[in-house]
Structure 1
Amino acid sequence: MKDKVVQAYDKLALDYELHVDTESGHNAYYERPAMLKLMPEDMNGMAVLDAGCAAGWYTEQYIRRGAQVTAIDISPEMTAACKRRVGDQATVITCDMSEPLPFGDDSFDRIASSLTLHYIENWTPVFREFSRVLKPGGKFVFSVHHPFMDMGHLDKPDYFKQRLLSEIWNKKVAGPVEVTFFHRSLQDIVNVTASHFIIEQIIEPQPVAAFKQLPEAAEWFSKFYERLSTNPHFLIADVRKA
């Protein structure tokens, strides 16, 4: 599974670097506003881990807010894209966050992970490591596929069974790329999270209507606004270390 994820996201890296920020409404008008709302506007003096940094959009946002950012991703091509974006303004490392992290205890004030954890089968060692490197009282915010989103991919619908699923993404640069991920139920997401952190909020985001006024957003809103306003697609958890 890890090899499949690396191969897929190495192929997708240029699309993320060149097109996702401006052409993916699911990111720009749906997931990202909800995630950023949970992060402080003033992050001066904060050490932040961007866990699953991809091409570095979130890394750049945290830098702009004053944070000292460490960005990690399992894909070498994604971390290379992140480095091109932020230069020496952040520490960018290629590493597998399902393995022990190369950071000391109580290293970070915040951990943020955007649309990454559904590529990992077992969250327990990941959350154990996140708890270790997070300072007491530190916050952890993550987004994943909403379990209801996955149901259309199940050939034999069994909501409660964790399963490996796949779909084909057609991208401008990479062309068709098979992306694999794990479906897990809401109770599994909540229970494994609660076993390591204190849950403060579970959020099912909706599209930000204010973006409707942007000319470049019109097509996306016409296709997806009603659907995403009434059917959850992503899930966000806002949690903290005791």
Structure 2
Amino acid sequence: MATSDYDSFARAYAAANESNLFNAYYARPEMLRLAGDVAGRRILDAGCGSGPLAAALRDRGAVVTAFDASAAMVELAREKLGPDADLCVADLGAPLSFPDDAFDDVVASLVLHYLEDWSGPLAELRRVLEPGGRLILSVIHPGIYPIVYPEADYFALTRYSEDYDFDGQSVVLTYWHRPLHAITDAFSAAGFRIATISEPPPAPDTPAELLPPGLPESGSFLCFLFFVLEAA
């Protein structure tokens, strides 16, 4: 599935994204925590979807530029961020139109696991970052794959699909699994240094009814894996 296929269910996905456990109370809060104080920083939101992370970063004082491969998602982001927002339709799998060293930070939340090849996208994100800039990203935790698919080869780059329900609309999403060493090797090859790896619990204000049953005392569960990378 191409990211632009989100056009067919963009509004349903955006509605679910606003209040569900995985986006609203897990991925987005952790991305913001890792970003820290962003006041005045030029930030590119790569794969912005309907714009909730971009909006939160802008509310914290960042100067935000955002893009998504889905035109429908970009339109929803424009509804959220306003007509003057710096938004465009662009594909992370192709060269980006931004100049070199244009941003202090790039955020890419739950984007890279849709892509088979990471070398080109990571090289482009490194190019548009200032030296010393940060790429803050999240992907599906690779440790989930062998749990859900115990007969599969954890060490193989593998395409797989799963069914979801977004606000009553049934959707099939397709991902690429890669083992942890392949993830970190790709970062190094693109000129990034790993500054932080995070496996957080959900946000403290997560409604109890959204949490999975039987959580350990730590409150954490396998879901997404978060990185802060520094551009060498």
* TM norm structure 1: 0.88
The residue that corresponds to 2:24 in the other structure is 28
Q: Does structure 1 residue 166 correspond to structure 2 residue 156?
A: no
- Deviation for aligned residue 1:89: 4.6
1:117 has 2:112 as partner: yes
| Residue of structure 1 in register with 2:210 after alignment | 220
In the alignment, which of 6, 16, 19 is matched to residue 19 of structure 1? 16
User: Which ranges of structure 2 fall in alignment gaps of 5 or more residues?
Assistant: none
SS at match of 1:211: coil
Amino acid at match of 2:4: V
Q: Secondary structure at the match of 1:88?
A: coil
Does 2:226 align with 1:236? yes
CA distance in structure 1 between the partners assigned to 2:224 and 2:83 by the alignment = 32
Contact 2:15–2:167 (CA under 8 A) maintained in structure 1 = no
Provide the rounded CA distance (Å) in 2 between the counterparts of 1:120 and 1:126. Answer: 9
The residue type paired with residue 25 of structure 2 is: Y
Contact 2:16 2:166 in 1 (8 A): no
User: What are the equivalent positions in structure 2 for 1:193-208 lying under 5 Å apart?
Assistant: 193-195=187-189, 196-208=191-203
Query: Are residues 1:39 and 2:35 paired?
Result: yes
Q: Amino acid of the residue matched to residue 164 of structure 2?
A: W
In structure 2, what is the equivalent of residue 178 of structure 1? 172
* Residue-pair matches, total: 231
User: Among 179, 186, 209, which residue is 1:192 paired with?
Assistant: 186
CA distance in 2, matches of 1:228, 1:112: 27
Asked if 1:157 corresponds to 2:152, the answer is yes
Point out the more displaced range, 150-159 or 95-104: 150-159
User: Residue in 2 aligned with 1:130?
Assistant: 125
Alpha carbons of structure 1 residues 167 and 227: separation in structure 2 relative to 1, 3 Å: farther
Q: CA 1:165/1:152 → structure 2, altered by over 3 Å: closer, same or farther?
A: farther
Quick check: 1:206–1:232 contact (8 Å CA) kept in 2? no
Distance 1:230 1:67, change over 3 A: closer
Report the alpha carbon displacement of residue 21 of structure 1 after superposing the two structures with TM: 1.1
Equivalents in 1 of 2:227, 2:123: separation in Å? 16
Q: How far apart are the structure 1 equivalents of 2:38 and 2:44?
A: 16
Instruction: Report the identity percentage.
Output: 34
Give the 3-state SS of the residue equivalent to 2:83 in structure 1: helix
The residue that corresponds to 1:82 in the other structure is 77
Unaligned runs of 5+ in 1: none
Deviations for 1:50-91, whole angstroms, at most 9, x for unmatched residues? 001011001101111111111111111111110110013521
The CA distance in 1 between the partners of 2:219 and 2:145, in whole Å, is 17
**Residue identity matched to 2:171:** V
Q: Distance in 2 between matches of 1:224 and 1:10?
A: 36
**How far did 1:28 drift?**
2.1
Structure with more helix by fraction:
1
RMSD: 1.9
Scaled by the length of structure 2, the TM-score of the pair is 0.92
Shift of 1:194: 1.9
AA in 2 matched with 1:33: P
| Contact kept in structure 1, 2:13 and 2:167, CA below 8 Å | no
Deviations 1:117-164 (A, max 9, x none): 100111100111111110111111000000112234537321000110
Classify 1:231/1:66 alpha carbon distance in 2 versus 1 (closer, same or farther; 3 Å). closer
Helix, strand or coil: the match of 1:238? strand
